Amino acid sequence: MRHSLPLAPQFYVTAPQPCPYLEDRMERKLFTALQGDQAQVLNDSLSKQGFRRSQNVLYRPSCSDCSACMSARIVVDDFKPSRSQRRLLKRNAQFERRATSPWATDEQYELFRSYLDNRHADGGMADMDIFEFAAMIEETPIRSRVIEYIDRETGTLAATCLTDMFDDGLSMVYSFYDPAHTRASLGTWMILDHIDIARAAGLPYVYLGYWVPGSDKMGYKAQFDALEIYRNGGWERLGDPEAYEDDLHPLSNDPIAEQVANISFPDGRSQSV
């Protein structure tokens, strides 16, 4: 017989480990499994509460003495590109978008390795082999697409983004690109293109993952207009990026049990532990 998992799943907490974004910090994640018939509904619901997907896991930062990581999304209807972003859109007309099912290819992996070796050689993915890469792309229990960008002049793959489809937007799960295209600013350009995709589909948001004030790796997201961050249990428009503190007193963070109890689920219930 086939059974559906309950919409209020069990939550777990990872052991503390060094933070990849801020020096001298330790990170901890609250996470739950994403599987079963209700995976899409659960993903849609928790993503609106600051969670992100990694394969069949949903997670959210739950550090004991820091709250720097804040989920970020762009309000599509309110977004207005800057002058430099408009120039970038014109300059990158040579790239053609191609959406495919979530299936990993050798060409994608070669591009991924080139990107990591050039940009994130000391990151957590640096040792990822082709089988782990395939798992990252293909192990998705929800509606996902691989958005490829082809250089029309050479016919080669220039950039790729694994994109999840929510009921209210698109989520850029992970993107990578050819580091040789430095002038093309492909990381920024893929975000701009996803805004266009969402607008054409009538979707209100583009989810960008976490914005981390004080982190060079994640600070670029504040350059986008109409950016919202998930903070103190709700979405708010980003103000002056310099005004956000990247740390809190340990007693300022709620205990794990309270954090979980405050999570809302599609059927309107809250989960207790």
Q: What is the largest CA-CA distance in the chain?
A: 58
- pLDDT score at 214: 84
CB neighbourhood size of 158 (10 A): 23
pLDDT score for 119: 74
Tell me the angle at which helices 106-119 and 130-138 cross, rounded to the nearest 10 degrees. Answer: 110
3-state SS assignment for residue 32: strand
**What beta strand segments (E) does 14-108 contain?**
17-18, 26-27, 29-33, 52-54, 57-61, 70-75, 95-100
Query: What type of residue is 58?
Result: L
Predicted local distance difference test score (pLDDT) of residue 225: 94
Least Cα distance to 71 among 262, 205, 197, 250 occurs for: 205
pLDDT at 196: 97
Closest CA to 176 of 149, 155, 196, 153: 149
pLDDT of residue 254: 80
Rounded Cα distance, 163 and 221, in Å: 17
From 166, 160, 149, 172, select the one nearest 93 (Cα to Cα): 149
**Residue 272: helix, strand or coil by DSSP?**
coil
Q: Where are the domains of the chain?
A: 74-228
**What does each of the 273 residues of the chain score in pLDDT, given as a tens digit?**
343 444 568 999 999 999 888 888 899 999 999 988 889 999 999 999 999 999 999 999 998 888 889 999 999 999 999 999 999 999 999 999 999 999 999 999 999 999 988 876 566 676 789 999 999 999 999 999 999 999 999 999 999 999 999 999 999 999 999 999 988 999 999 999 999 999 999 999 999 999 998 887 888 899 999 999 999 889 999 988 888 866 566 566 788 888 888 888 886 544 444
Alpha helix ranges (H) inside 33-98: 39-47, 83-91
- Count of other CB atoms within 10 angstroms of residue 55: 13
What is the pLDDT at residue 250? 59
Compute CA distances 256 → 54, 66, 261, 268, 270, whole Å. Answer: 21, 14, 9, 20, 14
Residue 206 β-bridge partners: 74, 170
Q: Please state which CATH number belongs to domain 74-228.
A: 3.40.630.30
Gap between the Cα atoms of 45 and 94, Å rounded: 37
CA angle (196 as vertex; 170, 194 as ends), nearest 5: 40
Question: What pLDDT sits at residue 272?
Answer: 41
Task: Annotate 56-84 with b (16+ C-beta within 10 A) or e (fewer).
Answer: ebbbbbbbeebbbbbbbbbbbeebeeeee
pLDDT at 123: 60
